[in-house]
Structure 1
Amino acid sequence: MNGHEFELFTADLFRKMGYTVKLTKQTGDQGIDVIAVKNRTSLGVQGKCYSNSVSNKAIQEVAAGIKY
């Protein structure tokens, strides 16, 4: 599974859990790949299809993406 396929998979999981889901653009998304909304709660998700640990850079991107 490549990165984009993983984002689609993640979005589908959130839809099945009753969230309204929006996939962001492939670039300029501030690190957020999926926005899931349910009961006035918005979640920003950065999908990583890695077999190793996620880097600190990825965490910083998500923090920056909060404003997105």
Structure 2
Amino acid sequence: MIEWRKYDPTDRSIASHVKHLVYTMGGDTVLAIHAKKLRDGGYEWNRAGGYTVRYVTHWAPINLPGEEEA
């Protein structure tokens, strides 16, 4: 079972540049990384190719068999 965590845009404890599952208001679930915005500060979620994922409500670390969350 996936342990979803409510996304708090001010939470800086989310590992950056590591793939996570993210869930959006639109009901989409995608792989994305949490990274610092280069232009105006803050953080955002990005998919492959640099596409920004908007309206993220929840996120979950990806824990594959044999791996432990850092």
Which of the pair has the greater relative contact order for Cα pairs under 8 Å at 6+ separation?
2
Larger relative helix fraction? 1
Same fold (TM over 0.5): no
Query: Scaled by the length of structure 1, what TM-score is found?
Result: 0.26
Larger relative strand fraction? 2
